[in-house]
Amino acid sequence: MAYQISIKQGNLLEEDNATFIVNASNTRLLLGSGVSMSFKRHCGVELQEEMRLKLELLGQPLSKGDVVATSSANATNFTYSLHAAIMDYNQYTKGNNKYPTLDDIKLTLENIELYLEWYTTKNSESIKLVLPLLGCGVGGLNIADVSHIYESFFSRSVSFVCNVVIYVYNLEDYTVVSGIRKLT
């Protein structure tokens, strides 16, 4: 089976009936700006508290590429939040080291897929994964470069059924992403 991909422009948190929506977060799981701020507004402050507790239970700092699952808190249109540590906000991280690399995005997608595989062992229905172009906002990565990573990753065969909805910020980004051969 292969991932089924669609591309949309707008607010990913308005997507209905999603299993997982990905939050482009940071290693401290702080809901700050961009997609993370949208999560805070949509899901409520309870989500931030759940994220804090998850990080505390882990007992160690996250690294770029790590993914942590929580509920959707007060949101009713999706089941789980997947918080992808894209920016490194750990103590003493300075300069370019705090920003994601393309390898960090690849690792993040691999870690997201682990949650998808876990979910399918417990549930037989298909999955709907909603995610932004990770690392392209504050992270500063090139949209076309990240789109090519998505193309390569989501064109692989997997053992489960998953509809992937990739959200972009504006029409210009949509044009770039929809120009990538296998994403349309």
How does pLDDT run across 156-174, given as a tens digit for each residue? 999 999 999 999 989 999 9
Q: Where are the domains of the chain?
A: 4-183
What per-residue confidence (pLDDT) applies to 109?
Answer: 98
In this predicted model, what pLDDT tens digit does every residue of 59-102 receive, in sequence order? 988 999 999 999 999 999 999 999 999 999 887 666 668 999 99
Q: What are the backbone dihedrals phi and psi of residue 46, each rounded to the nearest 5 degrees, phi first?
A: -60, -30
- 126: pLDDT strictly greater than 90: no
Whether 181 has a pLDDT exceeding 70, the answer reads: no
Task: Give buried/exposed letters for 68-98 (b at 16+ CB in 10 A, else e).
Answer: bbbebbebeebbbbbbbbbbbbbeeeeeeeb
Tokens of 42: 């949509």
Q: Which CATH superfamily is domain 4-183 in?
A: Leucine Aminopeptidase, subunit E, domain 1 (3.40.220.10)
Taken in order 135, 50, 54, 131, the sign of the CA dihedral is: negative
